[in-house]
């Protein structure tokens, strides 16, 4: 029997009533003739509640023990779902990350999956069980419980789908799919039928929050077809798959915005070999995640270097900056944390000249100043003032006709407004 | 370094503030020169809260999955305690029942420990860690998570103390120790300094709730010295140990009351061989836990049989009774659920005649009618009307002078009033 993996996020299992509704959906998949493996997140805000308790004890909880604590959340959700399925007459058994064979490295709080040993899951499926697996967690090579970081349940689901050779992986969430832009700022944004792994990766990296980059990267590496859809609706969502012939017709997938970064500028840096390596090596050593980097041409032997980094990393950045500057001889540096990165993503732009010019034109017509530009073969990103972000997205979305179903499939993204759950918490 | 095992109950770890207080106590033991293994229960009422969620899903949750759910409670408490200890500068690591090597049979919800493989615990102690272990849980021979039933954390602690060759096992609870009677009904009840395993077993079986019988049985089998004391006080509690010379001087340990049982009477049962086997075999098959059994002498070839059983078992008993009666030919049966069992326990009564007579005399002087009597070598139990229970206990307590420190050590028992925790939940 073909296996499908379904993953339900925290909102989808936020109450015992919602868990019963999820059980109905799982049963439907089972009745549809599939072996079903279900990956669950913790109920609603329970992970945040556990984290708050840890912080009542100390501001800096021991990482191993924090992982032990947080994994209680999925344990509760998964056993309640298994209870609901058994009560409905469908044999179901739940497994922790460790029992499911999710083997990780030893980086507590942000562990990476290094192996999947799904023997117990396959055996349980073989006995006719629906299998429930705790998302977000695994067991390390040192036999300790680990967590995969925020959004890790998506990665658990995709990794299990790959290991089990699943037909596809369904990611149930509180939005209907991937949109051409965030419908909260662009009311005529459309839901995409499909998007390629590469586009989804660029979108996730550009601020679309519907899926974590890691899970998309995993899906791409193992060719797992992912269907992102809402657990509050029967409507089809968005497929994330290999680029296909039909997709080639599309030019642009969508517009994404990221307002979580700050722009840092270092002025009058001596323009000699090794300067960039010194700056960014120094920041990497302090675990500052640098995103875009722009270096201007040299004037009089000095240049300016600008880059973006998560605002959350600013405390570490500030601590590292003096050492970095003393090494490279830079003089002044400044932080602008009122910036936004607007990105246009589309597999079709590889073969279509003029996309960048059209995007810059849309911004110019709105009077939006571009502070930095960075591109990949399927993405163009501009850093602008955060005050301009909303107007910029609307203008770009309209410029590329993303609101109309042009060229077969058009395209997508961003965070999408939650459809209210049918019942309270 | 000598190992001590400490166990903290749900009230003792009911809030993050209480968990920090427990950490201080653990640190004191560590500073006192011991290797410390700490067994924790779930915080406050969290096990009941998890159970309530399961019952929101279905009235009869799947037992394997219910165990998976309930074990989340200890996981939360133990990791928070480990976080508190690490924050205080004391390396500490928490282990689930499975990680700690608590191997059980496969009876979900009431599993029995069949082996302890404390390799990881010993290794962690060897590295200088304080070790925290989840109480109440283990892993079955089928690799599934199991729970040991209510009060199972006491058994976890005693079993670990035995496996680790601990100096002793401290059971921290919300009462000061074991008393000569329940101080809520007998204000002059005294806390006992020590009590033998056998006496504690009889007391636990007679309604004293301070320790579960299973943990006492385990302690007796492996000779583990147990110190029952309050986590809200530095006062010494009650030691449970082998009977010693000093203890021989004591006659009576205490008076216990059990109001959780009902009395069932079957009238006009034919007095022939095999009747009792048929009745109690039939009830055992329906998992009715029969306690006291009394059969009167035969009159005219028929007799009456009375027995007590937990009121919780009455639904199963009623379902089984017709089949039982049709097999033995009994005619009428009745249930009286307004009874109490009052028990007098003391190792010294083995060698002192007249104890039973004194107890019956105390009841007679109070005008309390005795409905059933059952004895062991160190216990006398009388079933009386539950309306008389309070007066009966006071009368017996006074009759044996349990309020005075007579004969070196005197005696004890019962549930003891909680000392209010220093902070709210």
The residues of chain B scoring below 50 in pLDDT are 247-248, 406-425
Give the pLDDT of residue B418: 38
Cα–Cα dist B265/B293, whole Å: 10
Which residue of chain B is at minimal alpha-carbon distance from A142? B120
Q: Choose from A47, A57, A63 for mutation: most chain B CBs within 10 A.
A: A57
CATH of domain A3-245: 3.40.1160.10
Nearest to A82 by CA among A96, A72, A103: A96
Q: Which of B288-295's residues contact partners 24+ apart within 8 Å by CB, and which partners?
A: B288/B313, B288/B316, B288/B317, B288/B320, B289/B313, B291/B261, B291/B341, B292/B341, B292/B372, B292/B374, B292/B381, B292/B383, B293/B374, B294/B372, B294/B373, B294/B374
Q: Is the pLDDT of residue A408 over 90?
A: no
Residue-wise DSSP of A272-292: -TTHHHHHHHHHHHTT-----
Instruction: Scan residues 210-269 of B and list those with Cβ closer than 8 Å to A.
Output: none
Partner residue facing B57 (CB), from A20, A58, A94? A20
* B76 part of contact set with chain A, CB < 8 Å: yes
| Interchain pair B76, A69: CB under 8 A | yes
Give the pLDDT of residue B384: 94
| Interchain pair A19, B65: CB under 8 A | no
Specify the DSSP class assigned to residue A132. Answer: E
Give the pLDDT of residue A407: 39
Report yes or no: A24 and A87 within 8 Å, Cβ to Cβ.
Answer: no
Task: Say which range, A116-120, A318-322, B107-111, has the weakest mean pLDDT.
Answer: A318-322
The two domains B3-173 and B244-425 share their CATH topology (first three levels equal): no
Chain B residues with CB-CB distance to A84 below 8 A: 57-58
Which residue of chain A is at minimal alpha-carbon distance from B19? A57
Which residue of chain A is at minimal alpha-carbon distance from B60? A87
Which residue of chain A is at minimal alpha-carbon distance from B131? A65
Average pLDDT, whole number, for chain A? 88
* A19 part of contact set with chain B, CB < 8 Å: yes
| Interchain pair B84, A56: CB under 8 A | no
**Complex ipTM:** 0.82
Cα–Cα dist B136/B72, whole Å: 11
In the block, residue with structure tokens 């708050």: A52
Give the mean model confidence (pLDDT) for residues A15-19.
97
Q: How far is CA A40 from CA A139, A149, A171, A292, B10, in A?
A: 17, 15, 10, 34, 28
* A56 part of contact set with chain B, CB < 8 Å: yes
Question: Tens digit of pLDDT for each residue in A245-256?
Answer: 554 455 788 999
Report yes or no: B136 and B41 within 8 Å, Cβ to Cβ.
Answer: yes
Chain B residues with CB-CB distance to A71 below 8 A: 75
Counting Cβ atoms within 10 Å, is residue A143 exposed (0-12), middle (13-18) or buried (19+)? exposed
| Interchain pair B87, A62: CB under 8 A | yes
The alpha helices in B140-230, defined as continuous H runs, are 152-163, 197-205, 213-222
| Interchain pair A76, B143: CB under 8 A | no
Which residue of chain A is at minimal alpha-carbon distance from B68? A79
Q: Which of B217-224's residues contact partners 24+ apart within 8 Å by CB, and which partners?
A: B218/B113, B218/B155, B218/B158, B218/B159, B218/B162, B219/B158, B219/B161, B219/B162, B219/B169, B221/B162, B222/B158, B222/B161, B222/B162, B223/B162, B224/B158, B224/B161, B224/B162, B224/B166, B224/B168, B224/B169
| Interchain pair A80, B53: CB under 8 A | yes
Q: Is the pLDDT of residue A2 over 50?
A: yes
Cα–Cα dist B342/B396, whole Å: 9
* A345 part of contact set with chain B, CB < 8 Å: no
Give the pLDDT of residue B424: 35
Q: Choose from B68, B95, B98 for mutation: most chain A CBs within 10 A.
A: B68
Q: Torsion angle, CA of A157/A191/A209/A233, rounded to 10 degrees?
A: -50
The radius of gyration of chain B's CA atoms, rounded to the nearest angstrom, is: 23
Distance from CA of A150 to the nearest CA of B (A): 19
Give the pLDDT of residue B405: 59
Q: How far is CA B358 from CA B77, B348, B355, B368, B387, in A?
A: 48, 14, 5, 14, 21
Cα–Cα dist B392/B369, whole Å: 10
Phi, psi of A144 (to 5 degrees): -100, 155
Give the pLDDT of residue A244: 62
Give the pLDDT of residue A262: 95
Q: Taking the mean position of all CA atoms in its chain, how far away is CA A239?
A: 15
A/B interface, count of CB pairs below 8 Å: 114
Cα–Cα dist A47/A45, whole Å: 6
Give the pLDDT of residue B152: 93
Which residue of chain A is at minimal alpha-carbon distance from B59? A87
Cα–Cα dist B46/B76, whole Å: 10
B413 in the Ramachandran plot: left (φ > 0), alpha (ψ -120 to 50) or beta? left
Q: Three-state SS for B93? A: strand
Residue-wise DSSP of B38-59: EEE--STTHHHHHHHHHHHH-S
Give the pLDDT of residue B309: 92
Domain B3-173 has CATH 3.20.20.450: no
Q: How far is CA B401 from CA A265, B351, B413, in A?
A: 86, 18, 14
Which residue of chain B is at minimal alpha-carbon distance from A73? B72
In the block, residue with structure tokens 């003089």: A331
Helix or strand (DSSP H, E) at A116: strand A113-116
Cα–Cα dist B10/B47, whole Å: 9
The number of helix segments (H) and strand segments (E) in chain B equals 13, 20
The number of helix segments (H) and strand segments (E) in chain A equals 13, 20
Sign of torsion over alpha carbons A196, A198, A200, A202: negative
Instruction: Scan residues 98-127 of A and list those with Cβ closer than 8 Å to B.
Output: 99, 120
Give the pLDDT of residue A249: 52
Q: Three-state SS for A379? A: strand
Give the pLDDT of residue A250: 59
Read off the tokens for A216.
Answer: 């998309």
Give the mean model confidence (pLDDT) for residues A400-424.
48
**Cβ count near A278 (within 10 Å):** 17
Give the residue with greater pLDDT, A229 vs B355.
A229
Cα angle value B364/B368/B371 (rounded, 5°): 105
Nearest to A101 by CA among A72, A81, A82, A121: A121
Partner residue facing B83 (CB), from A57, A71, A79? A57
Strand order, beta sheet including B168-173: B92-95, B130-134, B35-40, B3-8, B168-173, B226-230, B238-241, B194-196
Distance from CA of B80 to the nearest CA of A (A): 6
Read off the tokens for A71.
Answer: 């994994």
| Interchain pair A62, B78: CB under 8 A | no
Sign of torsion over alpha carbons A153, A156, A161, A162: positive
Helix or strand (DSSP H, E) at A391: helix A389-399
* B351 part of contact set with chain A, CB < 8 Å: no
Q: Is the pLDDT of residue A404 over 60?
A: yes
Residues in CB range of B300: below 8 A, 6 or more apart: none
Cα–Cα dist B265/A226, whole Å: 66
Cα–Cα dist B131/A311, whole Å: 38
Cα–Cα dist A201/A211, whole Å: 9
| Interchain pair B83, A62: CB under 8 A | yes
Read off the tokens for B61.
Answer: 């949750």
* A143 part of contact set with chain B, CB < 8 Å: yes
Phi, psi of B377 (to 5 degrees): -65, -20
| Interchain pair A76, B54: CB under 8 A | no
b/e for B33-42, b at 16 or more Cβ within 10 A? ebbbbbbbbb
* A94 part of contact set with chain B, CB < 8 Å: yes
Cα–Cα dist B411/B256, whole Å: 11
Cα–Cα dist A255/A263, whole Å: 20
Give the mean model confidence (pLDDT) for residues A346-374.
86
Give the pLDDT of residue A62: 97
Cα–Cα dist A23/A3, whole Å: 17
Give the pLDDT of residue A330: 65
Residue-wise DSSP of A56-87: HH-SS--HHHHHHHHTHHHHHHHHHHHHHHHH
The alpha helices in A166-285, defined as continuous H runs, are 197-205, 213-222, 245-248, 275-285
Angle (deg, nearest 10), helices A314-328 and A275-285? 150
Question: Tens digit of pLDDT for each residue in A147-198?
Answer: 998 789 999 999 999 999 999 999 999 889 999 998 888 999 999 999 999 9
**Cβ count near A309 (within 10 Å):** 22
| Interchain pair A87, B62: CB under 8 A | yes
Question: Tens digit of pLDDT for each residue in B191-206?
Answer: 999 999 999 999 988 8
Report yes or no: B238 and B193 within 8 Å, Cβ to Cβ.
Answer: yes
Give the pLDDT of residue B244: 63
* A93 part of contact set with chain B, CB < 8 Å: yes
Q: How far is CA B360 from CA B124, B306, B396, in A?
A: 55, 20, 9
Give the pLDDT of residue B414: 39
Angle (deg, nearest 10), helices A46-57 and A63-70? 140
Chain A residues with CB-CB distance to B120 below 8 A: 143
Sign of torsion over alpha carbons B19, B24, B25, B31: positive
Distance from CA of A424 to the nearest CA of B (A): 15
Instruction: Give the number of C-alpha atoms closer than 13 A to the C-alpha of residue A173, restricted to the C-beta side.
Output: 24
Q: Is the pLDDT of residue A413 over 60?
A: no
Give the residue with greater pLDDT, A1 vs A145.
A145
Give the pLDDT of residue B320: 86
Question: Tens digit of pLDDT for each residue in A27-50?
Answer: 999 999 999 999 999 999 999 999
Report yes or no: B344 and B395 within 8 Å, Cβ to Cβ.
Answer: no
Q: Is the pLDDT of residue A278 over 80?
A: yes
Topology annotation, domain B244-425: VC0802-like (3.30.2130)
Question: Per-domain residue ranges for chain A?
Answer: 3-245
């Amino acid at each position: 029997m073909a296996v499908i993996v379904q993953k339900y996020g925290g909102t989808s299992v936020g109450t015992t009533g919602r868990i019963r509704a999820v059980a109905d959906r799982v049963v439907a998949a089972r009745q549809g003739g599939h072996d079903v493996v279900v990956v669950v997140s913790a109920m609603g805000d329970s992970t945040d509640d556990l984290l708050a308790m840890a912080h009542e004890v100390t501001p800096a909880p021991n990482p191993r023990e924090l992982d032990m604590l947080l994994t209680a959340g999925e344990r509760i959700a998964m056993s309640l779902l298994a209870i609901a399925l058994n009560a409905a007459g469908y044999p179901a058994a739940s497994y922790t990350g460790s029992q499911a064979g999710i083997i990780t490295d030893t980086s507590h709080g942000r562990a990476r999956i290094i192996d999947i040993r799904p023997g117990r899951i396959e055996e349980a499926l073989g006995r006719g069980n629906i299998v429930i697996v705790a998302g977000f967690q695994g067991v390390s090579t040192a036999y300790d419980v680990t967590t995969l970081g925020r959004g890790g349940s998506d990665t658990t689901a995709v990794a299990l789908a790959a290991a089990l050779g699943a037909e596809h992986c369904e990611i149930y969430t509180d939005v209907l799919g991937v949109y051409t832009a965030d419908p909260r700022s662009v009311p005529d944004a459309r839901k995409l039928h499909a998007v390629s792994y590469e586009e989804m990766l660029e979108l996730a990296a550009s601020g679309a929050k519907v899926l974590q980059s890691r899970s998309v990267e995993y899906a791409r590496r193992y060719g797992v077809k992912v269907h992102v859809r809402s657990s509050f609706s029967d409507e089809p969502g968005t497929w994330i798959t290999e680029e296909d012939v039909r997709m080639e017709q599309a030019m642009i997938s969508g517009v994404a915005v990221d307002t979580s970064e700050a722009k840092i500028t270092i002025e009058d840096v001596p323009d000699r070999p090794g300067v960039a390596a010194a700056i960014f090596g120094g920041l990497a050593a302090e675990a500052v995640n640098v995103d875009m980097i722009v270096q201007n041409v040299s004037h009089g032997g000095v240049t300016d270097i600008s880059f973006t980094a998560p605002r959350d990393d600013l405390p570490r950045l500030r601590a590292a900056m003096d050492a970095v500057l003393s090494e490279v001889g830079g003089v002044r540096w400044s932080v602008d944390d009122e910036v936004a990165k607007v990105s246009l993503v589309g597999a079709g732009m590889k073969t279509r000249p003029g996309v960048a010019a059209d995007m810059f034109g849309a911004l110019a017509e709105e009077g939006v100043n571009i502070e930095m530009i960075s591109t990949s073969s399927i993405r163009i990103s501009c850093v602008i003032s955060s005050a301009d972000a909303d107007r910029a997205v609307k203008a770009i979305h309209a410029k590329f006709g993303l609101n109309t179903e042009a060229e077969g499939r058009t395209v997508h993204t961003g965070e999408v407004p939650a459809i209210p759950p049918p019942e309270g918490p």
